[in-house]
A and B are shown apart, each in its own frame.
Chain A
Amino acid sequence: MDSVEERDTEIKAPSVIDRYYTRWYRADMKGKPCEDHCILQHSNRICVVTLAETHPILQDGRTIKSINYQISNGCSRLKNKVFGKSKRGGQFLTDFAPLCRITCTDESEYTIYSCIRGRLLEVNENILERPALLLEKPSTEGYIAVILPKFEESKSITENLLSREEFERVVSKRSVAVQSQP
């Protein structure tokens, strides 16, 4: 009953993400199975990097032990700062630039990548204080970072990402494979 009503309102009112963002996916990032990323691109070209719902961190009731934006000795994403309307000074990222490392309580460690080329505007510091946000609301308050692609690349940066339909097909094939395995 409850769920029917909810679905009803959902149809009437698409979410903020539905209204203003396009979802793009990178499946099995760096060949690691199921490490899927989701990029939300706003119509103004700004991109929000999030974990796809299928990411291992969000499976099997895992809990997060730590999130580290220090990706190497010399580079911390927390030190990123942008100035002015043109966002000068932000770190420039390529597709495979790591954004942070997330360690779960079962000692499994995952690296989250940029997935797109662009200037890093901010990382989500809220998840450092409340890692649970990442698990509870992975596509909104638990976002990882905000990236501003170059104006002239705002269309091309998503070319090698999967659309929502393509990603759903990849995921459904996976579950078929899992089911047929045993």
Chain B
Amino acid sequence: MLPLKDKDKPVVQKLLSAGCCARCVLRFCCVSVQAAYRQPQQETLKELHCFIGDTTDSGAAKSTEENKDEPAEDPPSKRPKLEPSLTGAELDQGSTAEKLKDEESQVCVVCLGILQELCDKNQAIKIVEAVKGENYEFDTLVLSVSLPAQLCVREHSCWLHVKTQLREKSIILGKDDVIQVKEAFKWIMQSLVAKELGGVAVVTKSPFEVGVEFTHPETDADCHFLYVSNSSNIFTPGLFFLSHYPCPPIQTTTRCSAQDVQCLHTSVFVAGRYNKFCRSLPQTPWVIDGERRMESSVEELIATPIVSAFRAQGFNFSSSGREDVDVRTLGNGRPFAMELLNPHRSRFNRVQMKQLQEKIKQIKVTHLYYHREAMSRMKEGEEEKTKSYTALIWTQKPICSEDITFIDGIKDLTLEQKTPLRVLHRRVLAVRPRVIHSMTTRFLDPHHFYLGLKTQAGTYIKEFVHGDFGRTKPNLCQLLKTETDILELDVEVGWKPLI
């Protein structure tokens, strides 16, 4: 039995005669029992007719509809005769059945078919086939529905219609309590889809979203009157709305049409550390004048196997700093994180992650793991204050090991570093003070030595060595009183644990 109260009777009658489908009637009566929506709509319609006692006089509803401009007549429900349902129905089965058939085939003026044929088992099968076709891996899914905007206008029109017609009868019809079309659609479809998927839970919150979109081109113009309005509250009862839009909404000949099912899995984040051992690998694809320089990049080497393992649609790569193309990254490795967009596979255990990590060639990736907050964690790790480097230095004048030992004694040397010419095209021109905390030297031959540096983050090492046209002061040329140049540079990534 439908959970309707006596006071709903005039509402039910008005709605049915306005061309509402059975489920929309339930919605307007604020029925929140999900089972009521799940039963076949034909049955609901039958029960509604029984409820309002509209069994034999099929003409009554019709006449109400036709004479809607006249003051509302006494709703039949007010008659003392209650619950006539079954007996009445049996009396005149023939004509009732015919009438019901008629109403069934009519497209609902409010939901435009969404809660009629568009939420049955066939529709569920269509959705499930689309989902299966995409080959996602998932335990649960959330169903989302996108409806044509005009449903809002139609719903409001119908609501206004009932409200104005029944005002004298002091029927309170709170709009906020009306069950949303979306809500009702989901109540019906969720269980159907779950059944077709063979036990996958269709829930309200899941990383995997299946979107169903409906359009109804025939009535797209319904909303147009809203564009011309500059009135701030066009949904105030009567006035503007009534003068621009028919109440109740006009009957249509076509139903909404379902668009392609859209599947989307929320992003998965992967993080780890990488070491780079070669001096000819840029961090990101390097393109000059539309021409590719160097065949690969750190980003591509890491991303390609991961993206293909997660079967992701795309990715965003981010690392805690970066190194030049000719600089190696040693030590613990540089932290990086990746957002995998719309991954079709998202579950990996520890062993699988390890195997994935080993698939990354040319650079070494360690500590690979995946997590939702990986990006923010890495950004926190970015705050490392001191950086360590090893540089191979060339000197123009021949040197002996005694010539360079004084460098080991230099502590907290402050440089005035003008934005290096090499990055000046994209960075603000400024003089930045940067501190070299300490340096160590290792003599190699009369023209070469290794220089270890611990510096404040943001120090440009290459410029400290060659001086950058005298724009970094002091520089190693000045300290050693000879031309110096940097032949190799390695970054030693610190020991601060990331995970």
Give chain A's interface residues, CB within 8 Å of chain B. Answer: 2, 5-6, 9, 13, 15-16, 20, 42-46, 48, 82-85, 87, 121-122, 124, 126, 133, 137, 140-141, 143, 146, 148
Q: Is the CB of A140 within 8 A of B470?
A: yes
How far, in angstroms, from A44 to B398 measured CA to CA in the complex?
33
Q: Is the CB of A48 within 8 A of B469?
A: yes
Q: Is the CB of A16 within 8 A of B288?
A: no
In the complex, chain B residues whose CB is within 8 Å of the CB of A146: 421, 424
Give chain B's interface residues, CB within 8 Å of chain A. Answer: 288, 394, 396, 398, 418, 421-429, 447, 466-467, 469-470, 485, 487
Question: A6-B396, A42-B422 in contact; A121/B429 too (CB < 8 A)?
Answer: yes
Q: Is the CB of A13 within 8 A of B470?
A: no
- Distance in angstroms from B279 CB to nearest chain A CB is 13
How far, in angstroms, from A137 to B396 measured CA to CA in the complex?
14
A44 in complex: contacting residue of B396, B422, B470, B487, CB < 8 Å: B422
How far, in angstroms, from A9 to B397 measured CA to CA in the complex?
11
Question: A45-B425, A48-B421 in contact; A16/B470 too (CB < 8 A)?
Answer: no
Q: Is the CB of A85 within 8 A of B428?
A: yes
Question: A20-B422, A46-B421, A141-B470 in contact; A13/B428 too (CB < 8 A)?
Answer: no
Q: Please, could you name 30 A-B residue pairs with CB atoms under 8 Å apart, sorted by A?
A: A5-B398, A9-B394, A9-B447, A13-B487, A15-B485, A16-B466, A16-B485, A20-B422, A42-B422, A44-B421, A44-B424, A45-B425, A46-B421, A46-B424, A46-B425, A82-B429, A85-B426, A85-B427, A85-B428, A121-B424, A122-B429, A124-B469, A126-B470, A133-B470, A137-B470, A141-B467, A141-B470, A146-B421, A146-B424, A148-B425
Closest to B396 in A: A6
Given contacts A16-B466, A46-B424, 9 further A-B contacts (CB under 8 A): A15-B485, A20-B422, A42-B422, A44-B421, A87-B429, A121-B424, A124-B469, A143-B470, A148-B425
How far, in angstroms, from A5 to B448 measured CA to CA in the complex?
13
In the complex, chain B residues whose CB is within 8 Å of the CB of A6: 396
Q: Is the CB of B427 within 8 A of A42?
A: no
Closest to B447 in A: A9
Closest to A47 in B: B421
In the complex, chain A residues whose CB is within 8 Å of the CB of B425: 44-46, 148
- Distance in angstroms from A122 CB to nearest chain B CB is 7
In the complex, chain A residues whose CB is within 8 Å of the CB of B424: 44, 46, 121, 146, 148
- Distance in angstroms from B328 CB to nearest chain A CB is 18
- Distance in angstroms from B464 CB to nearest chain A CB is 13
- Distance in angstroms from A119 CB to nearest chain B CB is 11
- Distance in angstroms from B241 CB to nearest chain A CB is 50
- Distance in angstroms from B451 CB to nearest chain A CB is 15
Most buried by B among A5, A121, A137, A140: A140
How far, in angstroms, from A8 to B338 measured CA to CA in the complex?
46
- Distance in angstroms from B393 CB to nearest chain A CB is 10
Closest to B426 in A: A85
In the complex, chain A residues whose CB is within 8 Å of the CB of B421: 42, 44, 46, 48, 146
Q: Is the CB of A143 within 8 A of B429?
A: no
In the complex, chain B residues whose CB is within 8 Å of the CB of A16: 466, 485
The 10 A-B pairs of least Cβ separation, nearest first, read: A141-B470, A44-B425, A16-B466, A13-B394, A143-B469, A9-B447, A140-B469, A82-B429, A46-B421, A126-B470
Question: A42-B421, A84-B428, A146-B421 in contact; A13/B485 too (CB < 8 A)?
Answer: yes
How far, in angstroms, from A5 to B398 measured CA to CA in the complex?
10
Closest to A50 in B: B469
How far, in angstroms, from A20 to B288 measured CA to CA in the complex?
14
- Distance in angstroms from B333 CB to nearest chain A CB is 28
Closest to A42 in B: B421
- Distance in angstroms from B209 CB to nearest chain A CB is 39
How far, in angstroms, from A105 to B442 measured CA to CA in the complex?
45
Closest to A85 in B: B428
- Distance in angstroms from A177 CB to nearest chain B CB is 33
Closest to B487 in A: A13
Closest to A133 in B: B470
How far, in angstroms, from A148 to B487 measured CA to CA in the complex?
27
B469 in complex: contacting residue of A15, A45, A82, A141, CB < 8 Å: A141
In the complex, chain B residues whose CB is within 8 Å of the CB of A43: 288
How far, in angstroms, from A146 to B424 measured CA to CA in the complex?
10
How far, in angstroms, from A13 to B427 measured CA to CA in the complex?
28
In the complex, chain A residues whose CB is within 8 Å of the CB of B423: 44
How far, in angstroms, from A5 to B423 measured CA to CA in the complex?
33
